[in-house]
Amino acid sequence: RTLKGGGGAGLSYFVFDFLAKDGESLRDRPLKDRKAKLKTLLEATGRSGPIFYSDHIEGDSTELLETLCPSGFEGILAKRANAPYRPGRGRSWLKVKCGRDQEFVVVGWSPSNTNRPFSSLLLATRDGDQWRYAGRVGSGFSAADLELLSERLRKRARKTPPVAGSVPSDVKRNAQWVKPELVVQISFAEFTGDGLLRQARFLGLREDKPAESVTRDVPQSSKGAEAMSAEREAAPSEETVGGVRLSNPDKVLYPQQGVTKRELALYLEAVAERMLPHLSDRLLSLVRCPQGRAKKCFFQRHGGAGLSEGFHRQSIAKKSGGEEEYLYLKDVSGLLAAAQMGVLEFHIWGSRIDDIDRPDRLVFDLDPDPSVAFAEVKGAAVLLRDALEALGLKSFPLLTGGKGIHVVAPLVRRHEWPTIKAFAKALSERVAENDPERYVATMSKAKRTGRIFIDYFRNDRSATAIAPYSPRAHEGAPLAWPVGWEELQAAPSADVYPLRNADPGAPDAWADYHRVRQSLKAASLRALGVSTAAARGAGT
């Protein structure tokens, strides 16, 4: 394969194992013997390159880890010196990461928009004689954790923040403060440049440690490595997240970012509270990338063998006669089952399984030509928002994780699909007619050059749209992220929210979405020229 930019000039190659020599397999020989032969074969080249011999350190890795981790290294691979070579994951090697796991003190909580007692805990550490805000955690809680913590939080309520220094305004706005007395154990990926936690996960309460002793730690080194090794011995290629077993959890699904199946599962578990109200009990189309986004991906919308138990099936009558079996999910176990299958995108129908023919959402997909600036797309979204508002409909913007924006209006299930589609078509064409140099409402690619395609075709019985909070199978591991209209104006692109920076505990910009009760009014249909006869035929 030819490398771009120099054809490989200056490329170095590090080798760490030797599987065959002169046609003779060395796979059954101990690792230390294979490496010895490799070192002899490379001789001086192994030290000077461009093919380098990857050396090793024998014995306790504690000192090595304590040197590497503070310098930003990911970790080390520990291998059994006497083990033969076996492909894939096994018991003879262990990836020891520079993970982070430490105590924090709870200083407050963020309210939940669902039936959970709280959305996230607000955390801090001791800095001299003051508390410093350290971020929040919104995942990892069991039902028992939520009940216990909510009771203890209520008993410690206070009106003012106990922390010194700044707290992000979006956190402070709805924060409920508590006395800094509860100590919790938290695992996390890293501290951001602002000193806040990223990818935090609740591990448990610490009853054995006083709050005043909790200060910011350095990354853990070999703590727990022996226990991790023993766990891998028992199940070297499996891990359980949310009660769902993941095979090969370290499989990299996004090569450029190194995002693994485990990280995908943890994200879906953390965001499930917000994602499921939009996704559960809807028929789905899935984008599956079992070997990662850089390799073969495929759509799946029908049932088949080998599906996890978290998936449900429903037969739907076809217009042409007969039936087809489709898939849907109901709960977090289904989301995690999807992660296990390498699902990188969730596309949803616009109706629920209990009434397929009556949609509960209206979607306009603003799809720009590559030459169109994102500021123009945001302007189009605001234009559609105002048009819908004039027709009696409140709408919400979704950054798709791709190039465009979805403008979504929740609906009471009153009208059937033909009426909804006719309304969406008429409004899209009206917008395009008023400014034909900027907008187009036809699928013809030849007519889209330099324009924004207002795609109303997603408003049909079997059409789908990307689900809010869904990952995308794109470079950068972006998410389809709901935002508010003010937040939209500050967004530099539609893929600005990557999976690794997601904060499911952040204030929900769509908090009011499921409380909106609205439908297409007869006057709105008349204003767009949608005939009353068509409306009656569609079930109005």
Q: Cα–Cα distance between 336 and 126 in angstroms, integer?
A: 36
The residues near 80 (Cβ < 8 Å, ≥ 6 apart) are: 31, 92, 93
Question: Which of these ranges, 162-176, 219-233, 296-310, 470-484, has the smallest mean pLDDT?
Answer: 219-233
Task: Please give the pLDDT value at position 65.
Answer: 64
**What percent of the chain stands above pLDDT 70?**
86
With a cut of 90, say whether residue 481 has pLDDT above it.
yes
Q: How confident is the model at residue 68 (pLDDT cuts 50, 70, 90)?
A: low
Report the relative pairing of strands 343-349 and 396-399 from DSSP bridges: unpaired
**To which residue do tokens 């739907």 refer?**
316
With a cut of 60, say whether residue 536 has pLDDT above it.
no
Token pair belonging to 90: 């096994």
Task: Please give the pLDDT value at position 426.
Answer: 96
Task: Please give the pLDDT value at position 216.
Answer: 74
Q: How confident is the model at residue 98 (pLDDT cuts 50, 70, 90)?
A: low
Query: Is residue 114 within 8 Å of 273, Cβ to Cβ?
Result: yes
Higher pLDDT, 20 or 344: 344
Question: Which of these ranges, 12-16, 339-343, 447-451, has the smallest mean pLDDT?
Answer: 12-16
Mean pLDDT to the nearest integer, 453-476? 95
With a cut of 80, say whether residue 264 has pLDDT above it.
yes
Q: Which of 351, 361, 354, 302 is nearest to 327 (CA)?
A: 302
Beta bridge partners of 186: 102, 202
Higher pLDDT, 537 or 20: 20
Which of 234-248, 439-453, 521-535 is modeled with the greatest confidence?
439-453
With a cut of 60, say whether residue 53 has pLDDT above it.
yes
Q: How far is CA 236 from the centre of its chain?
A: 25
> pTM of this prediction?
0.61
Phi, psi of 32 (to 5 degrees): -60, -35
Task: Please give the pLDDT value at position 91.
Answer: 60
- Cα 398 to Cα 32, 35, 367, 381, distances in angstroms: 54, 53, 13, 10
Task: Please give the pLDDT value at position 193.
Answer: 72
Q: Say which DSSP state 157 is in.
A: B
Write the DSSP assignment of 457-517 as a string of letters: TTSSTT-EEEPTT-B-SSTT-BB-EE--HHHHHH-SSTT--BGGG--TTS--TTTTGGG--
Task: Please give the pLDDT value at position 45.
Answer: 73
Largest Cα separation within the chain, whole Å, is: 86
Q: Cα–Cα distance between 79 and 93 in angstroms, integer?
A: 4
Q: How confident is the model at residue 306 (pLDDT cuts 50, 70, 90)?
A: low
**What percent of the chain stands above pLDDT 90?**
51
Question: Which of these ranges, 71-75, 110-114, 291-295, 472-476, has the smallest mean pLDDT?
Answer: 71-75
Count of helices and strands (H, E) across the chain: 13, 31
At 4, the amino acid letter reads: K
With a cut of 80, say whether residue 70 has pLDDT above it.
no
Mean pLDDT of the chain: 85
Task: Please give the pLDDT value at position 224.
Answer: 44
Task: Provide the Cα torsion 395, 137, 271, 295; round to 10°.
Answer: 120
Q: Cα–Cα distance between 103 and 124 in angstroms, integer?
A: 9
Task: Please give the pLDDT value at position 170.
Answer: 84
The residues near 539 (Cβ < 8 Å, ≥ 6 apart) are: 357, 358, 414, 415, 416, 419
Task: Please give the pLDDT value at position 90.
Answer: 57
Mean pLDDT to the nearest integer, 431-445? 90
Query: Is residue 280 within 8 Å of 330, Cβ to Cβ?
Result: yes
